[in-house]
Amino acid sequence: MKLQPAELERVADLFRAFAEPTRLAIVQELKAGELSVSEIVGLLPTSQANVSKQLKVLYDAGLLTRRKQGTQVLYAIAEPMVFELCKIACDKLNRDAARPAKLKF
C-alpha cells in the first residue's frame, strides 16, 4: 500500500514524537502504569517545565492519555504499540552492537 503525502506526513509526525530522549524516558517510566507529572519529574533528571513540554508532545501525538485527579494530572500510555516500536528499535541496536566493528579508512 502506497501512502499519500498527507499520510506520510502523519507517519513522520508519529516518529518525531519518539525523537527525543526525555520522551523515551517518560514512555519507559509509564510502562509500569499511570503516573502524575510530579512523579515523572521525580524519576527523571530534568525540570518540571521540560517534562510538561514532552508530555504535551506525546499526548498530542495520541500516545498518552491524561486525566485530572484533584490537583494532579495523571498520564498513562494510550497506545501500547509504543512498546513494540521501542522493542524493535532496541533489538536492532543490540544486533548492531553484536556485529564486529567495520574498519573505516
pLDDT per residue as tens digits for the range 18-39: 999 999 999 999 999 999 999 9
> 20: which 3 cell numbers?
527525543
Average pLDDT, the chain: 92
Q: What is the pTM of this model?
A: 0.85
The domains of the chain, with CATH numbers, are 5-98 (1.10.10.10)
87 phi, psi to nearest 5 deg: -65, -45
